[in-house]
């Protein structure tokens, strides 16, 4: 049996895992949710949920993969082997389905980002008709750009973990961060930005107990960290066993939260800048067009900057395309690793087979967009991902004994803090998740 590929450095793992976490969930989804749920109130609840639930769930997922050194189906089957191996493997396979679900809509949205980036570039060369079509919302555009993005991701995945995922994540992530900061500096100098900053940074604490806001914040935290579908589990398995998972998880969580915060710092003030310029942005408390507003408002805002605005527009949507690419890599790796390790399929063949399945699923969403698109996103982020994280807590805290260092008394004796951390994962995290579901059910 061939040796498994792996990450060759700590920083490579952190950047790849952060690249998985940092994507459209942060830069597209987070600001949209924040704007629709009270701005600062949503940010406050998001930070609390991230600290209390999402980062522990990230730890549990990476920890299971790292200890097993296997794909998610095998890793969960092994962790549950003493009591319920079939349940563990079933949960792993549900994660495979979740990864396909995520990719099915993610690649469509990523295609929007790519086409808008091209729209900026073509406008620079005076191709106004082409630019206008690229920036328009059409089924034909989705049919053309979704496959382009799927092929880009597959081209990286089939190169392997070190030569593909690690190398490209290490290149793309720093570029993303630099571009984001530069855009924030520009937007914050515009008229109306201060009002957006106040809305974003000053919470209305009377709203922080709203069930809709809490479930949105929880779904956003799990979605933006890419947990609950096995992507972080497979990345954990590619890291040398028994590394300091706690420090790695904190690094990933901190970087992901920083990017989400910065995305809000860019987009929410930008919405108020657009509103100050006379554009209609809100209908009551909600954004007009929800997530589509980014594509309706921001290009118009950029166009007011003259030729410089074309560069800014192209750079902004290129940034979103980079963020999307680093995220789709990990989700694609989940089913690819399963086929390579359990079905003895070559990596190139597995990669292109999964890409074909994702393309079929994406085209189905395109064909029935109004019915399926929002339904798939809601089902994944507010049901499947939280339930998967609840299962990870149960596995680490209640089911998995043999090989689980959080239950090994000889290990705990040398590192007493593991006892308290293990108890938090075992008792507190499942209880908090169940309380959230209970409050939502009552609402």
pLDDT of 109 > 70? The answer is: yes
Question: Residue 276 — very low, low, confident or very high, per pLDDT cuts 50/70/90?
Answer: confident
pLDDT of 60 > 90? The answer is: yes
- Across 112-116, 189-193, 320-324, 345-349, least confident range: 320-324
pLDDT of residue 440: 63
- Across 20-34, 111-125, 152-166, 290-304, least confident range: 152-166
pLDDT of residue 229: 85
Question: Residue 170 — very low, low, confident or very high, per pLDDT cuts 50/70/90?
Answer: low
Q: How far apart are CA 98 and CA 340, in angstroms?
A: 19
In terms of pLDDT, which residue wins out, 371 or 4?
Answer: 371
In terms of pLDDT, which residue wins out, 173 or 303?
Answer: 303
Q: How far apart are CA 331 and CA 110, in angstroms?
A: 14
Q: List C-alpha distances in Å: 254 to 39, 173, 326.
A: 20, 14, 17
Helix (H, G, I), strand (E, B) or coil at 403: coil
In terms of pLDDT, which residue wins out, 197 or 309?
Answer: 197
Q: How far apart are CA 217 and CA 23, in angstroms?
A: 16
pLDDT of 13 > 70? The answer is: no
Average pLDDT along the chain: 82
pLDDT of 187 > 90? The answer is: no
The half-sphere exposure of 180 on its side-chain side, counting CA atoms within 13 A, is 27
pLDDT digits (tens, 9 = 90+) for 64-104: 998 988 999 999 999 998 888 899 999 999 999 999 998 99
pLDDT of residue 10: 60
pLDDT of residue 3: 45
- Residue whose token pair is 């100050």: 276
Assess contact for 17 and 235: CB atoms under 8 A. Answer: yes
In DSSP terms, 287 is beta-bridged to 282
In terms of pLDDT, which residue wins out, 113 or 242?
Answer: 113
Percent of the chain with pLDDT over 90: 25
Assess contact for 272 and 199: CB atoms under 8 A. Answer: yes
Across the range 351-380, mean pLDDT stands at: 91
Percent of the chain with pLDDT over 70: 85
282: phi then psi, degrees, rounded to nearest 5: -110, 145
In terms of pLDDT, which residue wins out, 227 or 423?
Answer: 423
pLDDT of 323 > 90? The answer is: no
Q: How far apart are CA 72 and CA 323, in angstroms?
A: 24
Residue 284: alpha-carbon gap to chain centroid: 28
pLDDT of 174 > 70? The answer is: yes
Across the range 147-153, mean pLDDT stands at: 84
What length is written for the chain? 443
**CA dihedral of 361, 363, 367, 369, whole degrees rounded to 10:** 70
The DSSP letter of residue 84 is -
In terms of pLDDT, which residue wins out, 276 or 99?
Answer: 99
- Across 340-349, 391-400, 430-439, least confident range: 430-439
Helix (H, G, I), strand (E, B) or coil at 408: coil
Helix (H, G, I), strand (E, B) or coil at 283: strand
pLDDT of residue 186: 84
Assess contact for 68 and 258: CB atoms under 8 A. Answer: no
Question: Residue 289 — very low, low, confident or very high, per pLDDT cuts 50/70/90?
Answer: low
pLDDT digits (tens, 9 = 90+) for 408-441: 887 788 888 888 998 999 999 999 888 877 766 6
Q: Please, is 29 exposed, middle or buried when counting C-beta atoms within 10 Å of its C-beta (0-12, 13-18, 19+)?
A: buried
pLDDT of 254 > 90? The answer is: no
Across the range 29-52, mean pLDDT stands at: 88
pLDDT of residue 61: 93
Q: How far apart are CA 142 and CA 109, in angstroms?
A: 9
CB neighbours of 79 closer than 8 A, spacing ≥ 6? 64, 67, 68, 88, 395, 396, 399, 400, 403, 404
């Amino acid at each position: 049996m061939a040796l498994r590929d792996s990450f060759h450095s700590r920083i490579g793992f952190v950047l790849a895992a952060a690249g998985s976490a940092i994507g459209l969930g942060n830069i597209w989804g987070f600001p949209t949710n924040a704007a629709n749920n009270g701005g600062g109130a949503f940010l406050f609840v998001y930070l609390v949920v991230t600290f209390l639930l999402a980062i522990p769930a990230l730890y549990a997922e990476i920890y299971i993969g790292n200890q097993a050194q296997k794909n998610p189906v095998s890793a969960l089957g092994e962790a549950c082997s003493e009591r319920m191996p079939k349940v563990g493997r079933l949960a792993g396979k549900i994660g495979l389905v979740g990864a396909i679900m995520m990719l099915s809509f993610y690649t469509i949205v990523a295609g929007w980002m790519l086409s808008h980036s091209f729209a900026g570039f073509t406008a620079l060369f005076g191709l106004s008709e082409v630019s206008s079509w690229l920036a328009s919302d059409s089924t034909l555009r989705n049919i053309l750009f979704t496959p382009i993005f799927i092929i880009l991701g597959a081209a990286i995945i089939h190169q392997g973990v070190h030569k593909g995922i690690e190398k490209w994540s290490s290149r793309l992530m720093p570029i993303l961060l630099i571009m984001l900061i530069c855009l924030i500096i520009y937007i914050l100098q515009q008229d109306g930005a201060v009002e957006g900053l106040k809305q974003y940074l000053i919470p209305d604490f009377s709203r922080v107990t709203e069930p809709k806001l809490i479930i949105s914040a929880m779904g956003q935290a799990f979605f933006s960290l890419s947990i609950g579908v096995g992507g972080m589990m497979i990345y954990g398995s590619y890291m040398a066993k028994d590394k300091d998972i706690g420090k790695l998880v904190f690094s990933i969580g901190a970087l992901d939260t920083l990017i989400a915060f910065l995305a809000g710092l860019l987009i929410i003030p930008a919405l108020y800048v657009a509103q100050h310029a006379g554009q209609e942005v809100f209908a009551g408390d909600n954004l007009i067009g929800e997530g589509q507003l980014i594509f309706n408002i921001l290009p118009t805002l950029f166009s007011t900057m003259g030729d410089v605005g074309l560069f800014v527009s192209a750079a902004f949507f290129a940034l979103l395309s980079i963020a999307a690419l680093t995220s789709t890599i990990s989700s694609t790796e989940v089913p690819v690793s399963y086929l390579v390790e359990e079905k003895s399929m070559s990596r190139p063949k597995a990669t292109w087979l999964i890409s074909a399945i994702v393309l079929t699923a994406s085209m189905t969403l395109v064909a029935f967009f109004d019915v399926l698109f929002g339904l798939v996103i809601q089902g994944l982020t507010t049901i499947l991902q939280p339930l998967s994280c609840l299962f990870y807590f149960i596995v680490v805290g209640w089911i998995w004994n043999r090989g689980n260092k959080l239950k090994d008394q000889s290990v705990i004796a040398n590192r007493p803090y593991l006892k308290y951390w293990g108890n938090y994962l075992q008792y507190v995290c499942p209880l908090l998740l169940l309380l959230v579901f209970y409050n939502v059910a009552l609402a």
